[in-house]
Structure 1
Amino acid sequence: MMSGRDSGGGMRIGELARRAGVSVKAVRYYESLGLVTPARLANGYRDYDEHDVRLVGEIKSLSGLGIPVERTRPFLECLAAGREHGDDCPAALAGYREAIDDLTRRIDALAARRAVLTAHLREAAHRDSGTPWTYDEESAMTDDLTQLPPDLPVPEDDGAARHLPGLAVPRAELASTAGGTVRTDALGPGRTVLYFFPLIGTPDQDLPEGWNSIPGARGCTPETCGFRDHHAELREAGAERVFGISVQSEGYLRGIVDRLRLPFVLLSDPGPVLADGLRLPTFEAAGKRLFSRLTLIVRDGVIEHVFYPVFPPDAHAQQVLEWLRANPLPADGTTAPPHA
């Protein structure tokens, strides 16, 4: 029998349940387990007091932590012994440890199940297909990331890139999918194509919620595949180097390079350091700051031309190729960029 009861009661089960924030049925269940033992009046009615309110409140709190009702007894006995807190006794601490061990076993089991499901998802996503697939929350259907959905919103030119032509590219050391880093202020002589993209999805990860409705967000995979497919032509047209740049990690981007079989490297700028140095346009999505889609033609370290906004992304590499062909480097070998 638990002690600690007040000398006077006068409380009925409905009032106890209301004050403790539980149902009458729950109180009766606690009584059936012997966790709450009210006094009995002469007429046989149960008579509860403040101690019972505290016991029921303790059971409710512990249940919210994931401790089964049946295992709350050590905590209640600690209160009945006059302790200020239900976990002031060694037996209660042992109850915590037991509950933690149970949770750990359940977490391990769920993690193992999750790993199996992830493996099945990846296998199914890549099976008999050379293109990546993902689940699109907006259309509730499997969606080929290499294709653009119809009626994508067209981004407008907000003037956020007008200051860029003629600027020298500042120094930033960006992790490369080829290993090591690339210094943006030392790209080398001639022309370099730097295309900035928000993020590339993978078969086992959903795109951010509402992604298709953000102007200029959707289309990183077809844009990148376009630079892949036109890479040799871009080189022939005078692009010494092509780099794709995203805030995504180098390890993640390395997987993209392998999966899409890219002949060029991708660079990671999670800061984003280069974006801040050049004051590039960015936007927020999925709790992250992402690049707005934009391409720079850099010539001998200076920004010669800017493509912004970029739309449609699947035709952008062809657009860059046409500009390079229409603006060949001087035949005399001069290196000073023309007036932007």
Structure 2
Amino acid sequence: MRIGELARRAGVTTKAVRYYESLGLLAPVRLANGYRDYDEHDVRLTREIRALSLLGIPVEATRPFLECLALGHRHADDCPAALAGYRDAIDELTRRIEGLTARRAALVTHLHRAAHRSSRLSPAEGEEAMTDHTSLPAGLPVPEDDGAAAHLRGARMPRLELRATDGATVSLDALGAGRTVLYVYPLTGRPGTDLPEGWNSIPGARGCTVEACGFRDHHQDLLAAGAARVYGLSGQDRDYQREVTERLRLPFQMLSDPARSLGRALGLPTFTTGGLTLYKRLTLIVKDSVIEHVFYPIFPPDRHAAQVLAWLGDNAHRP
């Protein structure tokens, strides 16, 4: 067959076919008139080169796969040399991903610095290109007690299992002996990621990172005051929460509840912004599978861990 037909059947261009020939990957028969004559084996080789190229394997590195076919194997990757070709391609992609990840992190850092350096807006205005999640701007609106958590005290925890950031499954109706501090929050910000529009103007929304840092810094004190364990909980997925746990070096686990199953079971208060339905900030003290105390509303969030610590101290001997 002529080169045009080969290219059409293999899904490549005639230019690509000539390039494969220049590398010695294809060796068509020459007719008496000088024209190249391709056969079905050439079609198979060309298709294999194309398929491997789509996987990210350079054309020049497809030779071991083609040689495997030439040896009579049914599949081009039945040979050890072909498997080594896969590994080499994976290693190269890994290096490229690591390099791109490092470049992205550097760009985020430069963007963060430049945004803060050149911005004329104060954090309280909430319009800066990047947000410092480790501090609270002045003038945040104070949430009011709307009674949305009044029914929770004395309620039993539902039979519900949620995934933690360490991969374990936590049964909320069997948290274990002693008191559990379960703080529920709307959404943790991440460097380089914009918060929902108007976030600072929503009463009680801003401050998830500083709240988490407060529980981190008071963690040992909370345990000493009678808390058997501390959990954070939000509707964010486990990978998102795991990044936050690692970045903030939290000594406790976060629970992921993207379906807001706990909210439906207990009737937890929520709010909606930017198309997202999020938990309102509150904290449950759970003892023997029963909600013993509820903190709601919570403000300011950066002082909340100290409030929980004080409550534990005041109720240390409470039966």
TM-score (norm 2): 0.63
Aligned partner of 2:205 in structure 1 is 217
SS in 1 for 2:255: strand
Q: Which amino acid aligns with 1:224?
A: A
What SS does structure 2 have at the residue aligned with 1:209?
Answer: coil
Does 2:143 align with 1:152? no
Give the SS at the match of 2:285. strand
Distance 1:265 1:285, change over 3 A: same
Structure 1 residue 288: Cα displacement: 1.3
Q: What residue ranges of structure 1 are gaps of 5+ in the alignment?
A: 1-111, 128-134, 331-336
Contact 2:131–2:191 (8 Å) recurs in 1: no
User: Separation in 1 of the partners of 2:104 and 2:305?
Assistant: 34
Q: Identify the residue that residue 309 of structure 1 maps to in structure 2.
A: 297
- The answer to whether the 8 A contact 2:183-2:233 is kept is yes
CA RMSD of aligned residues (A): 2.6
Taking the aligned partners of 1:123 and 1:222, their CA distance within structure 2 comes to: 20
Verify the 8 A CA contact 2:235 2:278 in the aligned structure 1: yes
Aligned length: 214
Identity %: 59
Distance change >3 Å, CA 228–CA 116, structure 1 → 2: closer
User: Partner letter of residue 121 of structure 1?
Assistant: L
Quick check: 1:238 aligned with 2:258? no
Change (3 A) 1:183 1:313: same
**Corresponding residue number in structure 2 for 1:26:** none
Partner of 1:325: 313
Q: Which residue identity does 1:297 align to in structure 2?
A: I
Asked whether the 8 Å contact 1:155–1:309 carries over to 2, the reply is yes
Q: Is 1:122 aligned with 2:112?
A: no
SS, match of residue 228 in structure 1: helix
Distance 1:205 1:180, change over 3 A: same
1:168-223 Cα offsets, whole Å, 9 max, x none, are 00011111001121110110011000000000011121011000000000000000
For residue 186 of structure 1, what is the amino acid of its counterpart?
A
Which of the two has greater helix per residue?
2
Aligned equivalent of 1:300: 288
1:122-201 → structure 2 map (5 Å cutoff): 122-124=108-110, 138-140=126-128, 142-201=130-189
The runs of at least 4 aligned residues of structure 1 exceeding 6 Å deviation read: 114-117
Residue 326 of structure 1, CA deviation: 0.5
Shift of 1:115: 7.4
- Separation (CA, whole Å) in 2 of partners of 1:222 and 1:171: 30
Q: Distance in 1 between matches of 2:157 and 2:183?
A: 14
Quick one: structure 1 residues 328 and 124, their matched pair in 2 at CA, closer, same or farther if it must change by over 3 Å? same
Partner of 1:297, secondary structure, is: strand
